[in-house]
Amino acid sequence: MEGDHGKMLPPSPGTFVDREELIQHVGDFAVSQGYVVTIKQSKRDRVVVLGCDRGGVYRNRRKSADESSAECTRRRKTGTRLTNCPFEAVGKKDDGLWVLTIKNGTHNHEPIKDISEHPSARRFTEREILIIKEMTEAGLKPRQILKRLRQSNPDLLSTPKHVYNVKAKLRQGNMTVRNFKSLGPQKSAVRNNYLAVTKPSWRQRNPPRVPNLIGGRFVDSQSFTSIDVLNPATQRVVSQVPITTIEEFKAAVFAAKRAFPLWQNTPIVTRQRIMFKFQELIHRDIDKLARIITAEHGKTLKDAYGDVLRGLEEVEHACGLATLQIGEFVSNVSNGTDSYSIREPLGVCAGICPFDFPAMIPLWMFPISVTCGNTFILKPSEKDPGAAVMLAELAVEAGLPNGVLNIVHGTNDIVNAICDDDDIKAVSFVGPNAAGAYVYARASTKGKRIQSNVGAKNHAVVMPDASVEATLNALVAAGFGAAGQKCMALSTVVFVGGLNPWEDKLVEHAKAIKVNEGTESDADLGPVISKQAKEQICRLVQTGVDTGAKLVLDGRNIVVPGYEHGNFIGPTILSNVTINMECYKEEFFGPVLLCMRAESIEEAINVVNRNKYGNGASIFTTSGVAARKFQTEIEVGQVGINVPISVPLPFSSFTSCKPSFAGDLNLDGKAGIQFYTRGKTVTQQWKDLPGSNDASLAMASS
């Protein structure tokens, strides 16, 4: 008997953002084990005690006669007394979060064979009661209400009579209808309907405070520390980013870990359908996404739309992931033995994002990861988190279950926590070189998979026979687009044979670029992300001038009318740059183009290969021989021939080499799928073995 009771395990302790999530966690796990929990005691803002709603066992009880009173001498009848189940879980509020502990994890009864037979299976959740109230006020009848509720929760067992009873109590002003927290996984649509009833606190602030996403809920952080997100063109505070507490981070990881078992067993076609809906919603809200990117990052609306659309390609790629995860099967590898390979998700994965592509980089990471069956922790850049949060809202609206995608904000402490947490199995990082090296070293020592995409110094080699106008247009677009704030921006041009006649024409094309605030219709180039970034760019330009470079176009002192406080830098060109100059060695991340000369293609290739960064390089030429030599001998991850930025589409991996990338598997394509999954080989034998009492110690063979 005791052994049977032991089969019912208690839920795992953890940290939750609110009381309801804690109750739901305990309730969902209890159902999976064959028991039902109920609230035994509750002080709503401080503590909740949960017990088992199973009656327990009856035991015989006989009270002995009172021998001291002769007149009362008699034997009492044999009776019974109900012994309650000893299971008890306690949730307490501590520093704004709810902590679950298991006081007694044992039971004194058998598991419930059919959970639907338990009375609690027909109770409504608090959120469903709120929805019933709304629909009642709208004039809907019980059958209509029940039909709507079942669209969001097909497992709902309640009848129209139960809806009528709830309506009657609501008419009496009784909102404390007895309920049980979610016998099945809570559906996103129900949650969204509930959120529509009450406006979250983080939206009520002015400026708004960016929320965390933990366990399917967008919640304001308990942290008192926050960072202002400034519009780079106006210095206006767009929003505030909280420095997420470590307790909140642990709650996010716990939510992701809790969601993983059910999500990994969700059919791949179901996960794909969510991605189909997700890409539809991104198309619907692309204008909002582009505007928040421009407001926080500063790039022009045209560049912001491109940011979203390149990320959208990744979501579209995830919609067809099933065929890319197909394994291999070998029949009859031995006598009656088959062998096949499959790919399985890792568990909880995490992504750390930079500021340069607020939409594209998050979409490089979590759509592929979650469609592979993982759950995900995303840390957007603290400089422009708005697009990532908006994408998360759309993912939840698309039907992504609670806990599959979580968002935490912060700086160094959260990065360290991601690297150190044992429950996080893989980390994707895109960002500066020093930070990338640190993340790679710290995460890899914890045994995590890590892909770290860092600094870039992308080169273009221009041959004397290159098409002049097409080459100049490409150089200007790649060098100054998005104010040079992108990992594949073109920062250095090596002119084979000399700078003439290229230099004057390059300056002429650069001067035609219109510098303005990103939402202005004539804007070609917006501000850089921050005043600190502008100061660093100006400093590097000045070091180039001080060490012998020629400043042929200076955009450092540009002033945009109406936006005098903006972080604007106009197109800037330095020529006669050498490989020993600091401005060449360091990454600019700004609208600055460095011009060098080489006597031959061999010298130009050597210049590129000696640089410490290895993201990409391009050649502009009409010679197939020169192009073939370049693509063969150049040592970078991305090679362009008559194209300036050779970033591939999602079905081809984003490949980098040398210090620009650390790790074994790149983003995108098959490599990205392999990064977020592990291989497993299964060998099976189905045959009638001849009867024998002798065990063979020989290696199996055909």
Q: Are residues 463 and 426 in the same domain?
A: no
Q: Are residues 90 and 131 in the same domain?
A: no
Please check the confidence at residue 395 and state whether its pLDDT lies above 90. yes
Residue 450 to residue 427: CA distance in whole angstroms: 5
- The predicted-structure confidence for 247-299, as pLDDT tens digits, reads as follows 999 999 999 999 999 999 999 999 999 999 999 999 999 999 999 999 999 99
Please check the confidence at residue 214 and state whether its pLDDT lies above 90. yes
**Active-site annotation holds for 85:** no
**Average pLDDT of the segment spanning 504-519:** 95
Please tell me which residue in 52, 319, 419, 487 is annotated as part of the active site.
487
36: helix, strand or coil: coil
Please check the confidence at residue 177 and state whether its pLDDT lies above 50. no
Please check the confidence at residue 663 and state whether its pLDDT lies above 50. yes
Residue 435 to residue 393: CA distance in whole angstroms: 28
Please check the confidence at residue 83 and state whether its pLDDT lies above 80. no
User: What distance, in Å, lies between the first and last C-alpha atoms of the chain?
Assistant: 48
CATH code assigned at 527: 3.40.309.10
pTM, 2 dp: 0.78
Q: Are residues 538 and 647 in the same domain?
A: yes
Please check the confidence at residue 16 and state whether its pLDDT lies above 90. no
pLDDT value, residue 116: 64
Question: How many domains does one find in the chain?
Answer: 4
Reading phi first (left if > 0) and then psi (alpha if -120 to 50, else beta), residue 298 is in left
Please check the confidence at residue 3 and state whether its pLDDT lies above 80. no
Q: In Å, what is the CA distance from 278 to each residue of 365, 369, 498, 563, 635?
A: 14, 14, 50, 36, 38
In contact, 592 and 484? CB cutoff 8 Å: yes
User: Which is more confident, 158 or 266?
Assistant: 266
Enter the tokens of residue 232. Answer: 């780079």
pLDDT value, residue 239: 95
Please check the confidence at residue 58 and state whether its pLDDT lies above 60. no
User: Which is more confident, 207 or 687?
Assistant: 207
pLDDT value, residue 185: 36
**Average pLDDT of the segment spanning 68-96:** 63
pLDDT value, residue 133: 84
Please check the confidence at residue 60 and state whether its pLDDT lies above 50. no
- Mean pLDDT is lowest, of 192-206, 230-244, 332-346, 377-391, for 192-206
User: Which is more confident, 604 or 152?
Assistant: 604
Please check the confidence at residue 685 and state whether its pLDDT lies above 60. yes
Residue at 517 is within a domain: yes
**Average pLDDT of the segment spanning 230-254:** 94
Q: Are residues 48 and 103 in the same domain?
A: yes
**Average pLDDT of the segment spanning 85-110:** 88
Q: Are residues 446 and 469 in the same domain?
A: no
Q: Are residues 518 and 414 in the same domain?
A: no
DSSP E strands in 291-360: the ranges are 328-334, 337-345, 348-352
Neighbour tally for 179: CB within 10 Å: 17
Enter the tokens of residue 400. Answer: 């992504």
Bridge partners, residue 227, by sequence: 241
Enter the tokens of residue 632. Answer: 């063969």
Last residue of a domain, one of 121, 144, 166: 121
**Average pLDDT of the segment spanning 315-336:** 86
Residue 367 to residue 361: CA distance in whole angstroms: 11
Residue 357 to residue 278: CA distance in whole angstroms: 19
Q: Are residues 480 and 598 in the same domain?
A: yes
**Using 50, 70 and 90 to split pLDDT, how confident is the model at 660?**
low
- The predicted-structure confidence for 350-374, as pLDDT tens digits, reads as follows 999 999 999 999 999 999 999 999 9
Residue at 203 is within a domain: no
Longest dimension (CA), the chain: 126
CB proximity list for 133: less than 8 A, separation 6 or greater: 170
CA angle 458, 461, 466 (to 5 degrees): 135
Strand order in the sheet with 677-685: 328-334, 337-345, 677-685
Q: Are residues 96 and 38 in the same domain?
A: yes
Enter the tokens of residue 409. Answer: 């904000």
Enter the tokens of residue 127. Answer: 């959120």
CB proximity list for 342: less than 8 A, separation 6 or greater: 327, 679, 680, 682
Q: Are residues 423 and 524 in the same domain?
A: no
- Gyration radius of the chain over CA positions: 32
Distance of CA 220 to the CA centre of its chain: 18
Under DSSP, the state recorded for 483 is G
What does the buried/exposed string (b/e) look like for 609-642 if buried means 16 or more CB atoms within 10 Å of the residue's CB?
eebebbbbbbbbbeeeebbebbeeebebbbbbee
Mean pLDDT across the chain: 84
Please check the confidence at residue 62 and state whether its pLDDT lies above 60. no
User: Tokens 């992108």 label which residue?
Assistant: 486
pLDDT value, residue 700: 63
Q: Are residues 484 and 431 in the same domain?
A: no
Please check the confidence at residue 689 and state whether its pLDDT lies above 90. no
Please check the confidence at residue 656 and state whether its pLDDT lies above 90. no
Residue at 189 is within a domain: no
pLDDT value, residue 622: 96
Enter the tokens of residue 106. Answer: 């044992």
- The predicted-structure confidence for 516-526, as pLDDT tens digits, reads as follows 999 999 999 99
**Using 50, 70 and 90 to split pLDDT, how confident is the model at 173?**
low
**Using 50, 70 and 90 to split pLDDT, how confident is the model at 71?**
very low
**Average pLDDT of the segment spanning 132-153:** 83
What residues make up the domain containing 490?
Answer: 458-659
pLDDT value, residue 187: 38
Q: With helix as H, strand as E and coil as C, how does 382-429 read?
A: CCCCHHHHHHHHHHHHHCCCCCCEEECCCCHHHHHHHHHCCCEEEEEE
Q: In Å, what is the CA distance from 473 to each residue of 73, 510, 568, 641, 693?
A: 111, 9, 22, 15, 80
In contact, 678 and 343? CB cutoff 8 Å: yes
- The predicted-structure confidence for 584-613, as pLDDT tens digits, reads as follows 988 888 999 999 999 999 999 999 999 887
**Average pLDDT of the segment spanning 105-115:** 81
In contact, 83 and 106? CB cutoff 8 Å: no
Residue at 375 is within a domain: yes
DSSP E strands in 418-502: the ranges are 424-430, 449-453, 458-462, 490-496
Neighbour tally for 52: CB within 10 Å: 24
User: Which is more confident, 551 or 34?
Assistant: 551
Torsion sign, CA atoms 487, 431, 250, 246: negative
Residue at 642 is within a domain: yes
pLDDT value, residue 73: 42
Residue at 207 is within a domain: no
- For strands 616-620 and 661-663, give the pairing: unpaired
pLDDT value, residue 421: 95
Residue at 61 is within a domain: no
- Mean pLDDT is lowest, of 39-43, 408-412, 672-676, for 39-43
Residue at 239 is within a domain: yes
**Average pLDDT of the segment spanning 681-700:** 69
Bridge partners, residue 683, by sequence: 339
Please check the confidence at residue 66 and state whether its pLDDT lies above 70. no
pLDDT value, residue 449: 92
Q: Are residues 172 and 221 in the same domain?
A: no
- Mean pLDDT is lowest, of 96-110, 141-155, 448-462, for 141-155
- 239 by Cβ neighbours in 10 Å (0-12 / 13-18 / 19+) ranks as buried
What's the residue count for the chain?
702
Q: Are residues 390 and 446 in the same domain?
A: yes
